[in-house]
Amino acid sequence: MQGDRFDLAVVGAGLNGSLLALAAGEAGLDTVLVDRVPLRSLTEAGFDGRTTAIAYTSQRLFAALDIWPEVADKAEPILDIRISDAGHDGRPSPLFLHFDHREAASETDGGGAAPMGWIVENRFLRAALLRRLVSCPHVELVAPDEVVETKRDPSRAELVLKSGRQLTARLVASAEGRFGAMREEAGIGARAWSYDQIAIVLVARHERPHRGVAQEKFLPGGPFAILPMRDSESGEHRSSIVWSEGADLARRLLELDAPRFQAEFQRRFGDYLGKVEPVGPRWWYPLGLVHAERYVDTRLVLVGDAAHGIHPIAGQGYNLGVRDIAALVEVLVESKRLGLDVGAADTLERYAQWRRADNFAMVAATDLLNRLFSNDIKPIRLARDIGLAAVHRVPPLRRFFVRHAMGLVGDLPKLIRGERP
């Protein structure tokens, strides 16, 4: 790298920012990654209680960047997904929708029955990304440090850091999350609202194995997702829980002592896996929607949650960000190979046009699903139960939704196809 001049400056070293920096660096773009906290702290077990659903096509990108070998033995395959409606007692309706990973076998690499996705603990993903970033010669890690001033004009972008260091880049990528400062400073508006829900996130251990089946129960307060995890080192069967509830009730639940919380949890989880109990701490996250009115500005691009933050109802939030990253790196690499400016307006507009339709469709779909299923209005509940059962009985419709869950629909970037850009 030449001094403090870079092709790309990535602000925010979360899962999106770290992956973007690595993908860009591996493609030969001189990249700097800036974050306000020490990067090693992002891999600590207590930093984040969440797991991430890695869709089939996102896994192909991880494999293309040699990240997957680092996490493969910690990733639990999602073989089936069962979706059902449930009332206040937690008992699922007899009408349900079941997705089988074998239904999309003809479109996977080699035509085999690949999993629809994998569940991986975030700390393992972060650790693998950090190890690969440290060894990438085209990436410089600047952390802990913080951007305190940004100057952008048609020729370049300059970042002034809290340490006093100044960076110059052809392009700045904001991977700061839903409420990043750069989007606001650029005057990019966003459609944003709260669902008045809170997601309670925890790990549960249970008596019987989950056999790779993910469950999503639509309860009156919000979806209750049971996601298969790898067994613990001591052999305990485990699942990751994303439990959405109305904000007021969720706060009361979080204040309960262990026995009363266990009773409320057990009622919603059910007994299909035998005895079950939460283990470890409880985390919580307010739920809402944020969708930027545009993804680019002069020498600035938004990726991941900085561009679109959605409800976790479909488990697709991170996978949208992965597709953002793959598309962005591809257009930047093509521009650099042609001797063009990677931060030019026409280059960025190619990225924005490529990603707009896919992102908007998922934003709209998750918003609609959450509003449709997070209630206990009897006529609506009956209609959605019939709808789930109807889709279950039509194989072409099931295959269509399985392909969407796996990320096999649309104009896929090279990295998403498992190829280097």
| pLDDT tens per residue across span 11-38 | 999 999 999 999 999 999 999 999 999 9
Strand partners, 167: 159
Q: Is the peptide bond before 69 cis (omega within 30 degrees of 0)?
A: no
Please give the Cα distance from 189 to 146 (Å, whole number).
Answer: 23
The answer to whether 313 and 83 have CB atoms below 8 angstroms apart is no
CA–CA–CA angle 256, 49, 209 (5° rounding): 85
Report the mean per-residue pLDDT for the chain. 92
Q: Residue 376's pLDDT is what?
A: 77
Instruction: Retrieve residue 95's tokens.
Output: 């009408």
Q: Which amino acid is at 19?
A: L
What phi and psi, each to the nearest 5 degrees, are found at residue 312? -75, 10
What band does 132 get if pLDDT is binned at 50, 70 and 90?
A: very high
Q: Where are the domains of the chain?
A: 5-192+289-417
Closest CA to 125 of 174, 62, 36, 201: 62
Please determine, looking at this structure, whether the domain spanning 5-192+289-417 carries the CATH number 3.30.420.40. no
pLDDT in tens, 87-109: 766 777 777 888 998 887 667 77
Please give the Cα distance from 297 to 317 (Å, whole number).
Answer: 23
Please give the Cα distance from 103 to 287 (Å, whole number).
Answer: 32
Strand partners, 6: 169
